[in-house]
Every structure is written in C-alpha cells, then in structure tokens.
Structure 1
Amino acid sequence: MAGGATSNLERRLRTEITGEVMFDAFSRGRYATDASFYQIMPAGVVTPRTKAEALAAMAIARDEGLVVTPRGGGTSQCGQTINNGLVVDASKYLNKIVSFDAGKRTCVVQPGIVLDDLNRQLKKHGLWFPVDVSTASRATIGGMAGNNSCGGRSLRYGTMRDNTLSMNAALADGTELHFGPLARDAAWPNVNEPGRDLFRDLLALGAREANEIDEHFPKVQRRVGGYNLDALTPKGAVNNMAHILVGSEGTLAFTTEVELKLWPLLGTKVFGICHFGSFYEAMDSAQHLVKLKPIAVELIDSTMIALGRDIAMFKPTIEAVVRGEPDALLVVEFAEESEGVNLAKLRQLNELMGDLGFGWNNPQRKWGGVVDVVEPAIQAAITDFRKSGLNIMMSMKTAGKPVSFVEDCAVPLPHLAEYTDRLNKIFVKHGTRPTMYAHASEGCLHVRPVLNLRLDKDVKAMRAIAEEAFAMVREFKGSHSGEHGDGLLRSEFHQDMFGPRIVRDFEEVKDRFDPQGTLNPGKIVHPPKMDDRSLFRFKPGYKVEDFKTELDWSAWPGAAGGFQGAVEMCNNNGACRKLEGGVMCPSYRATRNEKDVTRGRANTLRLAISGQLGPNALSSDEMMETLKLCVSCKGCRRECPTGVDMAKMKIEVLAARVKTHGLTLHSRLVGYLPHYASLASTFAPLVNLRNKSKLLRWALEKTAGFSAKRDLPEWRRDTFAPDATAFGPENGPQVVLFADTFNRCYERENLDDALNVLVAGGYRVHLPKPVEGKRALCCGRTFLSAGLVDKARDELSRLVATFAPFAERGVPIVGLEPSCLLTLRDELLSLRNDPAAKAVSQQALLFEEFLVREAASGRLQLPLKPIAPKAMVHGHCHQKSFDAFKPVEKILRLIPDLDVQVIESSCCGMAGAFGYGAETYNESIAMAELNLLPAVRKAPNEAIIVADGTSCRHQIKDGSGRGALHVARVLAMSLDGHSASHADQERA
C-alpha cells in the first residue's frame, strides 16, 4: 500500500475512531505475530471502543483498499490473526456481557471478552461456559468462535460450535445480520433482506452437496478444519446459521455479539493420575478409559514432566503426583453431581487399570498404576500444569523449539496408539523428536517435533513431515485440524483432506459472503504455501548483530543464545495477558494495551535487535515508551513458563539508553540515592520541606519528573547506624543482618525490630562495617533501575567483599527489603559469577525465610503473645517471583490467635520509583486499585496490614490512609505484647 494511501487511512481513522489508532512501526510490529511461527506486518491497528467504531474502521479500510483482520487475544497457533491490512483488536474495549438469562442459561457477549473473565462473572450465578481452552486466561470468545475452539472437557461439553446459539455479525460490505436457528421451510419473504438471499443460497448449497459433505467430512468430534458446511445440510427442520461462522477465522464476517449456552458449575471432582511405562500403552489404553465416562482424559508425556521439574511454579506439582519415571501419564477427571459417585468412578478406574494389567507391581507390564487425587488444591495445580503444556514445551533453551504444524490432528481412539507410534517413526526418519500432550480422550494430541526454522533443512523436514502425517490422518479417517484451526498453516491441505469439490464449495461460501476478499484473506481458501519462508517470523536473512551486553545471558546457549536467545524465548502464547491470579503482568491489567504486556515488549525487543525497527532501535525513544510501564515486578520471571525475564531485559535496554542519551535528572536522583543518602539524612528537615510546599512539589515535578501528587519518603536524621558490629549472645547461632538503604534511612524501626527479634531468638547478629569505603552497604538496585550497571556492580562488589567471609563459613545473610535482598539471589550472579559472589547469593535469605527455616528445624524459640485478631498480608512482587512469600504467612501464623489472610493482588503499583514519576503516577494508582487498595479499604480497623516492601507500604498509605507494617515489626509487637491498633499502624 502506498505511503499516501496509508497516511489517508490513518487520518480518516483518527477522525472517526476514539479508540487507539496505531500506524507506527513499533505498534504494528507488536501485532505482526501470534502464537504461530509466522509474521506479517500489518498496515495499521485500531482498538475500537464501540461496535459502531469497529464497523466504521472496516468501512474506511474498504474504501482505502485494505483488507481487515479481526483479532482477540492473538494466541492463534496457525497464523489466523495476522495479515497485511488493518488489524481490528476487539479485546481492549469490546469485552462486555450484553445480556444474561440465568433461567435459560444463556448470555450474549461482545467478541473481546476473555473466557476466564466471563466465567468469573458467571460463577456467582452457579454457571460457567465450559469450552475450557488452555488459554482461557487470555482467549476471547470472538477468537474462540472464529477458531471453533474445543477445550479439555469437550468429551462432555462439545466444541464451541456445540455451545454457540446465535451470532450477530457484519458482512464485509457493512451489512449487519443475525445468524441463528432458521427453519428450512421458513417463509422466505419474511426474512429481512439481504440476509434472505444469503441464507437461501447457503441452505441450497448444503442441500446440493449433502452427499459429498457426508462422504468427505471426517466423523470425529475434533474436526475444526474448513467451513462447517455440514451445518447447512438438510438433516433436520432447522439449521443454525451461526454455525457456518463458527470456525470461519474471521474470513466471512466481523462478529459483534455471540449468544452462548451456559452450564451448571462443576461440583466436586476427582482425578486419577494413570502412570504408564510406555507411551504406546498409554495411547492404547485411552479407548478403554473413556468408557467410564470421565469429563476429560489428558496426556502428559515424559518430556513435559522433565521440563516441569525445572520450572519453579510446577516442580511441587510434579513431586506431589508423579511416582517414579513414567513414560506417560493420563490424567482422568470425573466430575459427577455427588462426591460418592466420583469416588466410585475413581475405584472403577483403579479396577480397570488393574484389569488392563497396569498395577504398581504387575510383572506382566513394564510399569503402571494410579495415583488418586481428591484434594482440590492439588487438582487445581495439575490443571494449571496441564493447561501450560504448550509454554512448558516451549521452555527449551535451545535453538530448536517444538513447532506447531501437525499439532492437533485427531484420529478415532482405536487408532490413536498406532497413529502416534507411526508418527514417532516419521519424526525419527526426519531427524527430530516430538513432544506430545493434551486430549487423549478425543484422539487429539498436541504433537510438536523439535525443529529450528531458521535452517532450510529443518523447513524442508517440516514440509515432509506434514505431508506424511496428514496422509496417515486421512488413512485413519481423522481430521488434520482437530482444535487450532487452519490459518496459514493447514488451509493448503484442504484439497487432500476434503477433495477438490468440497474446496470449491468452501470458495463459493467465501465468495458469497465476501466477494471482494476483504476479510482476512489467505485463510481456509486461496492460501499460501505453509512453508513460504517470506511469511515466517525468522525469515531468510534474519540476523541479530553481535553487541556487548552488560549482564550474563549464558543460561541461553546455542546458535540463538545469549540475550537474543532469551528474547526469542517468547512464543507469543500470551500467558502474560491474564487479568487475574499471580502477578504478571500488572501494567497490562491496568491499561489492556499490547504495548504494556510482556509479550508486546518481547516482540518489540526481538524486532529491534534484528534490525526490523530501524537503526539504534534498542535505545530509541520508542523503545523507552515500550518499556515505560514495565515495573520490573519479575512476575514474568516466575509465571512465564518460557522464562521471559523482562525485568532483566529492561536493564539491558536502560544501559544501552544511558550510553547513547545519558541520564535524565530523574534517573540520576533515583540511581545515585545510596550515594547521597547520608547527606540527605543529615539535612533531613530541609530536604523534607518538599512535601510541605506546593511550590517545591511543582518545581520538582517540572525539573525532575517526581509527581506533585505524591509525598516523597521522609528522610530520617536518626538513621539505623549502630556503633556495635554484633549483638546477642556470643555463643548463639550466627546471622548477618543486611541493613538496606531504604529501611536504614526511612524506616529504621523495621531494622530495630528485626534485630530485637533475632536477639530474642538467641542469635548472634552481625552488622559488619564495609571493608571498602565508609559509605553504608547497598545492593545496587537503584543503579540497575537507572541503567547504571557498572555502578551497581561496584556496589555489589563492596557488599560481597564485606559479606563473603561470613557466607563462606555458612552464616546466613538476612535482609528485610525484598527487592534489595533478592538482588543477591538474582542480578548479583548476572554481574559476577565468582565463588565469593556465589557464596553470598547462596546464603541470602529474607528475614521471614530465615525464621521459618529455623522454626522448622526447632532452633527458633520466640515467646510470642496475641496482638490482634487478624492480619491482612500483601506480598511483594519479588517475594512471589522467588517463591518467598509463603514464609511470611507461616511466620505470622506462629503468633497466637492471629487469623492470617492473604490479599490476592498483583503489583502494588509503586514499584520503587515508578509510582513517584509524574508520567507514571496514574498507572501506578490504577495497578493498586485493581485488587490491593479495595481489599485494604474493606479490612476491619482492628486488622493489621502487613507488607514487607517499602514501596508497597507507601502505596497502601497513600491510596487508603491505612498504615502497613513489615513482618519484623509485627513479630516485635508480639514479643512485647503490644496491641497493633490503627494508631500503631499510622506510626509505621
């Protein structure tokens, strides 16, 4: 498209659309990919606020000669949601429930509503929408309808098509129609034009081709390829016209509303984790296990188990349910109306496995048995693990990755074992190995051979594997597309799967709906070759020039290793777009912008380092805008199953920015805080005048970017600076207390109380003086946040020199501030990896981690007394990232009669200096208002609010008026027998 036409299109859209209109290269690049291996740069992107704006955008694109691609969560694995025209993103604004009827168990929703968000709203009515896809936390209903999604429990509930009652949609020419049940003998003159003619022609096609459709459409439930022509055949008096749109991948109409069939919530559940010594035995057994009528039978293979063991958030789940070293697991789920029926079915499962020869000690089989799981928490963990199968498989830190192209073929269950066995042989023939998981109950496995699509030989292998695998699927009367649709990947193979006559019928349907080919062309009909490398994410000539990084990225080895390999770990599956649960990604939850989600940032980094966004893109203003709302919460470090650590990546970008643009005054003041802290404390009354003067607030905002709407932390003259270097009994167990800059200079009470608690516990507490220089020790975190990596390394070197003699003899190093202490477990080893640094890192523990460890060993004896009826606890993001939050709960529960409740929250939004920034203040508050501040406001006055993070406590005080306490203060109160009143919290 010519530049002038693009400019005209953008101008018209900005005039008529109040939602975002994005035509810059950085924004377009973020929409150029989905969860497939394809990449097509769109001409522009819009996020319409209303249906009218969406249709207006379509009309403008049509006038300007552009194609239109609807988009929801952008998690398609076959390239459905990418194209070279205008992308219309419905996920940000078009995400409401339009109507709901509890009695009829139906609802009407806009296309951009996320499945999990919908089910959260339905739960209070005892209902849910059961097409439970693994991407439920980010998959939109419109995208699921476009894909004819299935979910893990389709054995009972069916596919998206089975649960879609009707749809409202706009044709390519803007005509709005209702698609729903329609009697074949309807009085056609009473059907509104032009729908009358369209529906009449579609039903005529169905009648004409009924025999051909019956002969060539696979007889498996998991058939989501092509158009649903079988919905048009005269099998009954009524045809549901919505079902021709389901699975059409945005090629026939733009969906504006979907009417859904709802189901009662599942009650109690039980899982049977069936262990098998061989993969073939597991696949052969599936046909027998489904006879017990479970709601799901899901495969977890040995590769997924092994990878799960290496991922922190899944390791406990594996340890809880996996016995020995099975080659495959089948997770069999029962969910009947009563617990008794479920337990009876679980017993039947155990008996059936025994009858099949799979007992733990059966000498006739290689291995096998069942682990019963009745605890809801473990069931939920297993479900999370299973649903994360794709991302777990993609977590391989190698140049080759499991590639989706024969991903979800479906065959009748009696053929499943032979199919997978022969498929494995095809992979071996072409020099690769597969990963396999998912829906054994439906004969639909997620199968991904490991390939490197940068290499021409691997692309050729992919083509050969696809042709051989699809031929075998046809031999077994299966479907080459059993869940993830067609897109750019499988549409090419419809001719072989359905025959030339059915493909011509598909083309006739497309032409009847969209004669100009305006809507998402190249999908289902008239497709490109699936191995056209010009459409790949890693196109021929893709290259990342070598550049010196500031941090150690050697954990990502191989041909595409280092920083490049770490960035390219993002597979676009979009787990970071979840709206509830965990931490990731707080900025996206506040803005709903693709720019502000981990996936969007990773895509931008990949395009920048590979030269696709122009020269010097890594340090550009646009890159800084991309990362502006990243609060370095480290939520992605733990919760992204592929291990995308955006906080660490941001440090590299900031370092590159400093080299080319220098430091802003704001960054200088934040970064060098540890250096001027002593001086600021000396002149604390003068420095603190800023908070009391509107003029000074205004001046500092204009000159240094600190929001005038915030109080800055108050400097103390009485900083924590004991003269002695050790406290407590000389013969007590030794521990080093790390006095970080924030607690030392702003809230010394936390360090005082921590010291008192440790001494009361009988410990010999060391506060060593720096061995290099007189300035107090610091972890370097503020320098890292400003991109001053060398300065951070210097600070950490001083700290290591001081603490290493203790660490090397096994003395724990205990800190209070999560972001500071955990720097010693994370960034320290990315800056230096020598034995002294490793020793310090290994001994670094948060205060509550240390106490819980000591209590578990029986060494900790604290005379704690009741202080309050309840404690409401907010976890610091870094605590959660390092799985270090649970010790806070555990240590507080040692206080008698204290009801400890966790506030389910993401990042507090303050995030170091982020919440103090004039440009980021509003987003900071928005993050806090998602969960944290409403929960604090609802807390009873007598409850203690607990938050270990300095920033968290400030945000809570600013946003709610309630004070919050570090856990050290709470324990000290319990030691002293004080009551934690509201007034006590105000003084915190």
Structure 2
Amino acid sequence: MKNASTLERRLRSNMTGDVLFDAFNRGRYATDASFYQILPLGVVVPRTMDEALRALAIARDEGRIVTPRGGGTSQCGQTVNNGIVVDFSKHLNRILSLDVENRICVVEPGIVLDDLNRQLKKHGLWFPVDVSTASRATIGGMAGNNSCGGRSLRYGTMRDNTLSMDAALADGTLLHFGEVPRDLARVNSPQSGLALFRDMLDLGEREATEISARFPKVQRRVGGYNLDALVPRNAPNNMAHLLVGSEGTLAFTTQVELKLWPVIRNKVLGVCHFGSFYEAMDAAQHLVKLRPIAVELVDRTMIALGREIAMFQPIIATAVRGDPDAVLVVEFAEEDQAENLHRLKQLGELMADLGFGWDRPQRKWGGVVEITEPGLQTGIADFRAAGLNVMMSMKQEGKPVSFVEDCAVPLPHLADYTERLNAIFAKHGTRGTMYAHASEGCLHVRPVLNLKLEKDVKAMRAIAEETFEMVREYKGSHSGEHGDGLVRSEFHEAMFGSRIVADFREVKRCFDPENMLNPGKIVDPPKMDDRSLFRYRPDYRVNELKTVLDWSAYPGAGGGFQGAVEMCNNNGACRKLEGGVMCPSYRATRNEKDVTRGRANTLRLAISGQLGPDALASDEMMETLKLCVSCKACRHECPTGVDMAKMKIEVLAARAAKHGLSLRDRLVGYLPRYADLASRFAPLANWRNSSPLLRALFEKFAGISAKRALPAFRRDVFRPEAETFGPADGREVVLFADTFNRAYERENLDAALRVLVEAGYRVHLPRPTDHTRPLCCGRTFLSAGLVDQARNELNRLVASYAPFAARGVPIVGLEPSCLLTLRDELLSLRSDDDAKSISTHALLFEEFLVREGEAGRLKLPLGAMPAKALVHGHCHQKSFGAFKPVEKVLRLVPDLSVEIIESSCCGMAGAFGYGADTYQASMEMAELSLLPAVRRADIATLIVADGTSCRHQIKDGTGRAPLHVARVLAMSLDSTQSNR
C-alpha cells in the first residue's frame, strides 16, 4: 500500500480527472457483467486523452498493470484486473471528425454506440454493429471484443467496420494502425512501429498455412488474436484488425476510424412460430436463403419471463400466438418497402413449405405473424436486446451463467448442436436458456447454475469442456461474439492448437514485452473456474440481516434482501443516456458511483463484509446513495428488476437506527405531523422564504439550500365540511387527499372533486378512525428511513379505507408518489388482506377516468380549449405504467393539442432538490431535457405536471406555473359553462 500511495499521489498531481483509490470506488470497478470480481489497485477517469496517456506512463513507471474500460459490460471478465483501471466513458466520448460523403467518422474510444448513432442519424447514417448493449457499450469496448450485433449477417462484425485505429503501445509509443502494404518502405511510422509491423507481417506469412487450417471458417469467430489479418492474401493488410478483438492486451486505443452505412428506412418483421425448439433451429438454415438482415431466436423460457415483465407484456401479447416452444424473428430491411413485403410473403410460403402450420391439438401456432407497425417493431427489438437480462431476472439462487455463451457453429449443424447441448446440461443436472442470433449459428446459451456452490462450479467446468469439444467437432468457434476474457482464453490451445497459441504469445510479447496491458486475457490466462477470481468466492458470506421491509420474493439472507441486491448482474442498462427515466443521477454526473449498478455493487460488497464492519450504515454508503432520487425507474426499466428505491429505504433505516436523524430528516419526515399546525401560523411558517438570514441559517443547520424557496403553507388548507359529495345514486369513489395537495395546493383537490362530482360520482373523503390528524401514506417518513412511523400512518389509512376497498370502491389520488405508495411500499409493510385490497383498488386520477371511459361510464361535459398542453410525467407514473392515461385524459379535451416532454426525473424528487448538498445535481437533472423544453414553449402553452415536486422544480427553473391534470379538466368544464 506504500507503493500504492506513491502511485496515487503521482496520478493526482498529473490529473484533473478523478483518481479513485478508496475501497468503495475500487469495489465498484471490481466487476463487469461476468461472474468474476478482481479488486483494482485504483481507478483513473481522465478528462483528456493526454491525461489517459499520462496515467499509462505513470503506471508503467511504477510497475503497475493497466486495464482500459468503457461501459464495463463485458461478459467474460475482460475489464477486471488488479492494477489501474482507466475509465474512458465519462469524458473521452467525442466524434473527432465526420465525412458524410465518404461515410467515415473518427471517434474517441469512450463514445457510446447509441450516442454516436443519435449524432449520425441527422446525416442519414449509422454505425450498424448493433449490439444489445448499445445504450451503454462504448466503441472502444466494442473494438476490444470484436462485437457483432444482431445484423452482422449483412453488416459484418466490428472488425469489418473498423478502418483504422490510433493507439499507444505500453512503452508510450503512439502509432497509427491501418492498411499497410507488404513492403513497408513508404509507410509513415516511427522505426519501432515499422519493426512491429514487419514482425507481424512476417508472422502472418510464416504461419499462413497453420492459420488457414486452424481458424474456424465461420463469420462469428472472435477468439484469440486476428492472425488471419496478417496473411499475404489479405494484402494490403490492416493492422487495426489485429487490435480489434485484442481486449486491451496489445495497445491503448486513442481513436477509432469507422465505416458508416445509410440508416435503415424501411423494414418488416416476420415472427415465425415453432412447436419444437429443434424445428426452429433446423429452419434457420432455410430462412436465411430469403436474405434477411437478421434471424433472432426467442425461446419458451424468454417468452414466459417476458410475460411477467410489465414493459414487455403488450409486445408479447401481439407478436406471439398460442404457446410456441420457440419463435424466430426474421427481419427484412431493403430500401424498397414493397420488396420487404414481398419477402415477408415468401417467408410465409416457405414456412408452409417446411410444414409449419396450426396444430390444433397442441394449440400451437406454427405460422408467421407479420409486424409492419414501427412502434411494435421497436418494442420487439427492445425485448430481443434485453434477452440476456430478461433471462437473468429469475428470482432464485441459480442464474443463467455465461461461459459457453456464444459458441458459433455452421447453420446446418445448429439443430443437432443445440439438441446435444441440452443433453449435456441435463447430464449435469441443469437446464439452459437460449436466444439470439440463429441467422449465424451463434446462440446466447446459458446453463442455470449457482456459482456459490462447489458442485455447480464443477458442473460448469464439465459443461465447458464437453461443449467446446462438440463445437470443435462441428468446426465452429468457441468465441462467437463476446470474446475470450477470463472465461474462454484457457481453451485456446484445444481450439487453435499449440502452435497458434505460441503465435498469440509472440504477438503479445512484441506489443507488450512487460505484460503490462490487461494481462491474463487471451494469453497465459488463469483457469476459468479459479474461484478466487469469482464474485462469489468460497468464503462469500452474508450474515442474517434484520430488514424493515418484506423481501420474501427473493432468496438469500436478510429475508431476501441479499437476493434482491444480487439481482444486479452488472448489465449496465442503467447507464443509458436517453430514453426512459433510469438513471437520472448518472445522466447528470456520468459517475459509476451514481448509477444503479454502482449502488447495487456497493450494497453487495457492504452486506458481505467486503467493505468493513457497519458499511451499510456508513458515511461512504450514504455518499453512494446521496444522488439516488428514488425515482423507481430501475424498478420498471432494469431488465433484472433491481429496485434501488426500496433498497435505499433499508439503508436509511439502518442509518437512522445507528446514527439517529439529522434536523433535515426530521423536518422532512415529520411534515404530515406538523403541516396542519404550520398552516395556522402560515405567515410565520413561511417567513424563512422571505428572509435571507433565515435561508442561510436553514442551510447551515438543516442542510436546506438557501437557493430554494420552500413550499408555502396556507391557512385555507383542504378541509372538506362533509365526508361525501355528489349524487346519492352515483358510482362510489374515494378521493385520497394527500398531505402535499391538502396543505399546499388545495386547488388540485378542489378541481378533482369538482370533476368527479360533475361526472356523476359519489365521492367519499373518509376521515381517520382515530379522529386525529388527516390521513397520510407515510411517504415522507420512508424518505427519512422512519419505517415504523410510515407503517403507523399506513395503518391509519388502511383502517379508514379498508371498508370501501372491501366492497370494490376505487381509491383515487392526485399525487403519484403518495397514491402509488399504496401499490408498492404498503405491501412491503403489510401483507394482510386489507392492505392487498387497498393496493388493488388504488388508482391515479387519470387511470380512474380512463378506465371509466373505456367502460363507457364516463359522462364528463368537457368544453373546447383551443390551446396546447406540454406534459411532463412523474417518475413513479412511468415506473408503474400509469403515465399513458395522463395523455389519454388530456386528449378528451376538445381542441387541446397534447405534447409529451421526453424527460427523465425532474430532479426535485421530494426533498432531494431542496438539499444544500444536492441542489446542484437536482438542477443538472432538470436541465438535461425538462427545463429547456419548458423554456421553448410558447407563453400560451399549458405546462402540465401531476407531481408536486415536478411543479415546484419547473416553477423554480423557468418561472412557469404548471398545472395538475385535474385543474386542466376543471378549466375545460368552465369553458363548457361559459359557452352555454
């Protein structure tokens, strides 16, 4: 550690970017999407490429190894090592040049594929190596793995689309790797570079016969070094193709020159159904004759799991008929849509010729479902891309494990290969999941194993050896897409022979004689089943945890809390920068600490004792979770269902139990208890907002930012004189008057009550059975970790609402975070029938109106409003699939044009945006898309937001006063009455 301290000091003095040597940050970089874990010595996040190269030089000088890292989603352990990890993804992510006419661009290695394609789209171009992790995979990482993507049948692999690379050798020499002639006399390169190129070309010439004999003749061959790029027949030889797939072991990439393609403008999908998995695999060789650009497999297991995931349910319901054993999604994407439709027709005819039809006894559809609607096509693509993570969503100790993940065999052998593979799994007491690229004989295959158990680790070893032997029998490749890393490098000698493996060592020695760059990958690897390198080592233990919430749906210690934490498989979907909501804090900071994956890894290390005693309640853990806004986006958008908002409650409760509450926690948590009292002294309670001195004191002693005005208390809080409103014979509904709308914005409750009454409903506003303070959902208590107090509030609410829920009366609320507490946290605190009944009947205002409208029961005399509404959705609405009803309800208003803001979290998130230490992050989240969209809106445009926090953030950031949907509908009713 003395040497590490010296290294850290040197790095800090030469960097403006982050230099991270503490245990918590090192732990967050110890894993990727594989089952391995290796704690790095330190992490560097350089701001410039010069800083990255300085880090390389300092590490070399200190005798430390270096591992470059992009999105950290490698499935074979490529990005973990015990030296210095250099993270390119935060800052080194620009397009350096773009030649639209010649379809070429040059990029920094940290640019994310989706971000690159967003910038290229306006020029009609894209980079088509469309890996399923496109929302977080970096170009540098894709080059390191020789990524392929689902459409490689047409576009080829990363190697096929890489024109050149600039990179530094381990000794710091900067070289350009591109096409070179066999005669290097005219190549402009340093002498050391020319000598390296000559050595490589000589090796290729010397070993041409052996390379031809031993390298598998399948496109999906990404194992080892690409020695076939060096043989004479490939002249001019492209030296960049030797770096592609080298997994950061040969050079330190500084920029990549890419070949671009025109964007796909038209496409159709045919979803082909099969009564048996074997039939689907056998059919693939015939379907490719129609020249699709992709043929993707979805098996029975993935279909079943997808039907349990809310975001995929409607997609599967439309695309999958009956109960098939497997479907193949065939994609045609010619420029002429008529040609695509013609091939789709041919597909149906071919399926009929192959003998696949409707099997009535088995109720299985063996035909083709035609998908021409773009939105549904996108949904299917998203489901297919999430395939790995859908498989990983199993709530059990055993999980699908990647090690024979992406073997590739020639298509005529695919059916026999998969049938024999299933037999191998069964022999070793397990089963496998399969999906992905049937068009090229490369399936993502994962046997279900529990790598905490020695017997399952032994089974993994046996399955690997038997599977790879079978792949060699079919003259296939044991690495078909995801590279070698720690998983498959060990098996190169069996695949390529000892002579080729010796050549691999020679290449490594020529490029990196000191073995400094990411050692242990491709050349001289450890055993793939060395448990000392596993995430779950033999000594991995989680002691029994006393949890405050119900985690019984998950396996493991702590009443299932361990299992919930371990659901994170590091797939990195939370690192996406656009689309959906997850993860708003990461989008603002780009720090691994502030992404759901980073938090989950920290929690796993903490509960297993790897971060020291009491780590769960430590200051470092609170720093890890500080920017988590509990938006619940991960609950909905994480493919494996990691629920960080719920986990944060556990941490806050542990923290409160050990260290007590801060003044800020008390002010926020106990708001429902003092809101009514404060309203009686509203001018005094609001004095803080008008006094700079009080603002400063609140910031110093309560941690509430002086830059924020707190919501203003009012004397005329919502206190209805009666408990029931509306016609006696109207359909019953309970209106939940939450604390925020009741104490601060009663106009919303007044509007909602009016709308419901005018629609003919009998509206109940039940008072608490204990006749004390108004009812509350306990949300503020949960945000402070005060779970017992939250439970008390919910108990009071259940006592008042249970009689109504028992007879089927809907419980309707306005504030998403409060109403949806009844659908979520309530069931984590109570599991009785009353709680379940209330949860079942809890609906947001718009959900209720849409349901009534679809049932033909909504009679609401809305008047015309010739205006535009710009709508921002609350995070919890989106998490629970409750945002679409907002748009549907607003479209009921005649002449009202509705536009949705594509936004993530507003950044206010309850009390988060008021914190002195979180104010800046709050504003950065809001500025990503929400506030700019509001500022662009015409002054006559209505700004609509259901969330109390959202409205306050928009008001603070733009000066515009947003409206709840209930108020918009009330305005529409006013329009009707004024026109009478």
Q: Which TM-score band applies after superposition, normalised by the shorter structure?
A: over 0.9
Measured in 1, the distance between the counterparts of 2:106 and 2:639 equals 33
Specify the SS of the correspondent of 1:57. helix
Measured in 2, the distance between the counterparts of 1:265 and 1:199 equals 36
> Of the candidates 33, 36, 39, which is equivalent to residue 38 of structure 1?
36
Write out aligned runs for 1:261-276 (5 A): 261-276=259-274
Measured in 1, the distance between the counterparts of 2:96 and 2:795 equals 59
Q: Which residue of 2 aligns with 1:175?
A: 173
| Offset, 1:362 | 8.9
Deviations 1:727-766 (A, max 9, x none): 1101100111110000001100000000000000001111
| Offset, 1:425 | 0.5
| Offset, 1:696 | 1.2
Measured in 1, the distance between the counterparts of 2:361 and 2:27 equals 57
Q: Could you tell me which amino acid in structure 1 is paired with residue 129 of structure 2?
A: V
| Offset, 1:768 | 1.1
Write out aligned runs for 1:114-513 (5 A): 114-187=112-185, 191-360=189-358, 368-513=366-511
Q: Which residue of 2 aligns with 1:966?
A: 964
CA distance 1:924–1:159, shift in 2 (3 Å): same
Q: Which residue of 2 aligns with 1:778?
A: 776
Deviations 1:220-240 (A, max 9, x none): 000000000000110143011
Specify the SS of the correspondent of 2:404. coil
Q: Which residue of 2 aligns with 1:586?
A: 584
Measured in 2, the distance between the counterparts of 1:361 and 1:339 equals 32
Measured in 2, the distance between the counterparts of 1:149 and 1:940 equals 45
Deviations 1:815-846 (A, max 9, x none): 00000000000000100111111111111110
Specify the SS of the correspondent of 2:886. helix
Q: Which residue of 2 aligns with 1:762?
A: 760
Q: Which residue of 2 aligns with 1:835?
A: 833
| Offset, 1:559 | 7.5
Q: Could you tell me which amino acid in structure 2 is paired with residue 663 of structure 1?
A: L
Specify the SS of the correspondent of 1:511. helix
In structure 1, stretches of 5+ residues that fail to align are 981-988
Measured in 1, the distance between the counterparts of 2:432 and 2:558 equals 20
Higher mean C-alpha displacement, 150-159 vs 801-810: 801-810
Q: Could you tell me which amino acid in structure 2 is paired with residue 661 of structure 1?
A: H
Measured in 2, the distance between the counterparts of 1:717 and 1:180 equals 74
User: Are 1:646 and 2:662 counterparts?
Assistant: no
Q: Which residue of 1 aligns with 2:843?
A: 845
CA contact (8 A) 1:399 1:560 kept: no
Deviations 1:592-649 (A, max 9, x none): 0000000000000000000000000000000000000000000000001111000000
Measured in 1, the distance between the counterparts of 2:711 and 2:20 equals 38
Specify the SS of the correspondent of 1:318. helix
Q: Which residue of 1 aligns with 2:671?
A: 673
Deviations 1:277-299 (A, max 9, x none): 00000000000000000000000
| Offset, 1:570 | 0.2
> Of the candidates 794, 797, 808, which is equivalent to residue 796 of structure 1?
794
CA contact (8 A) 1:358 1:365 kept: no
Q: Which residue of 1 aligns with 2:531?
A: 533
Specify the SS of the correspondent of 1:624. helix
User: Are 1:605 and 2:603 counterparts?
Assistant: yes
| Offset, 1:956 | 0.7
Q: Could you tell me which amino acid in structure 1 is paired with residue 201 of structure 2?
A: L
Specify the SS of the correspondent of 1:626. helix
Specify the SS of the correspondent of 1:194. helix
> Of the candidates 14, 25, 41, which is equivalent to residue 12 of structure 2?
14
Measured in 1, the distance between the counterparts of 2:595 and 2:743 equals 34
Measured in 2, the distance between the counterparts of 1:678 and 1:74 equals 50
Provide the aligned C-alpha RMSD in A. Answer: 1.3
CA distance 1:116–1:951, shift in 2 (3 Å): same
| Offset, 1:711 | 1.0
Q: Could you tell me which amino acid in structure 2 is paired with residue 711 of structure 1?
A: A
Measured in 1, the distance between the counterparts of 2:177 and 2:648 equals 47
Higher mean C-alpha displacement, 180-189 vs 306-315: 180-189
CA distance 1:656–1:129, shift in 2 (3 Å): same
Figure out how many residues of one structure are paired with residues of the other and give that number.
Answer: 978
| Offset, 1:962 | 1.1
Q: Could you tell me which amino acid in structure 1 is paired with residue 607 of structure 2?
A: I
Measured in 2, the distance between the counterparts of 1:869 and 1:181 equals 60
| Offset, 1:894 | 0.5
Measured in 1, the distance between the counterparts of 2:448 and 2:558 equals 15
CA contact (8 A) 1:868 1:943 kept: no
CA distance 1:772–1:396, shift in 2 (3 Å): same
| Offset, 1:93 | 0.3
User: Are 1:70 and 2:77 counterparts?
Assistant: no
Q: Could you tell me which amino acid in structure 1 is paired with residue 383 of structure 2?
A: F
In structure 2, stretches of 5+ residues that fail to align are none
> Of the candidates 902, 905, 930, which is equivalent to residue 903 of structure 2?
905
CA contact (8 A) 1:188 1:196 kept: no
| Offset, 1:460 | 0.4
CA distance 1:401–1:189, shift in 2 (3 Å): closer
Write out aligned runs for 1:624-643 (5 A): 624-643=622-641
CA contact (8 A) 2:176 2:189 kept: no
Identity of matched residues, %: 77
Specify the SS of the correspondent of 1:177. strand
Deviations 1:473-527 (A, max 9, x none): 0000000000000000000000000000000000000000000000000000000
Q: Which residue of 2 aligns with 1:690?
A: 688
Measured in 1, the distance between the counterparts of 2:256 and 2:635 equals 36
CA distance 1:365–1:290, shift in 2 (3 Å): farther
> Of the candidates 566, 569, 575, which is equivalent to residue 567 of structure 2?
569
Q: Which residue of 2 aligns with 1:745?
A: 743
CA contact (8 A) 1:223 1:482 kept: yes
| Offset, 1:693 | 1.4
Q: Could you tell me which amino acid in structure 2 is paired with residue 642 of structure 1?
A: T
Task: Tell me the TM-score normalized by structure 2.
Answer: 0.99
CA contact (8 A) 1:868 1:979 kept: no
CA contact (8 A) 2:713 2:743 kept: yes
CA contact (8 A) 2:544 2:558 kept: no
Specify the SS of the correspondent of 2:25. helix
Q: Which residue of 2 aligns with 1:983?
A: none
CA contact (8 A) 1:398 1:560 kept: no
| Offset, 1:268 | 1.1
| Offset, 1:111 | 0.4
Runs of 4+ with >4 A deviation: 361-367, 558-561
Measured in 2, the distance between the counterparts of 1:904 and 1:379 equals 20
Q: Could you tell me which amino acid in structure 1 is paired with residue 653 of structure 2?
A: A
Q: Could you tell me which amino acid in structure 1 is paired with residue 766 of structure 2?
A: P
Measured in 2, the distance between the counterparts of 1:920 and 1:559 equals 33
Specify the SS of the correspondent of 2:309. coil
Q: Could you tell me which amino acid in structure 1 is paired with residue 656 of structure 2?
A: V
Q: Could you tell me which amino acid in structure 1 is paired with residue 61 of structure 2?
A: D
Q: Which residue of 2 aligns with 1:986?
A: none
Task: Tell me the TM-score normalized by structure 1.
Answer: 0.98
> Of the candidates 935, 938, 941, which is equivalent to residue 937 of structure 1?
935
CA contact (8 A) 1:403 1:448 kept: yes
Specify the SS of the correspondent of 1:329. strand
CA contact (8 A) 1:297 1:441 kept: yes
Measured in 1, the distance between the counterparts of 2:587 and 2:723 equals 46
User: Are 1:857 and 2:860 counterparts?
Assistant: no
Measured in 1, the distance between the counterparts of 2:122 and 2:770 equals 61
CA contact (8 A) 1:735 1:812 kept: yes
| Offset, 1:183 | 1.1
| Offset, 1:699 | 1.0
Q: Could you tell me which amino acid in structure 1 is paired with residue 134 of structure 2?
A: A
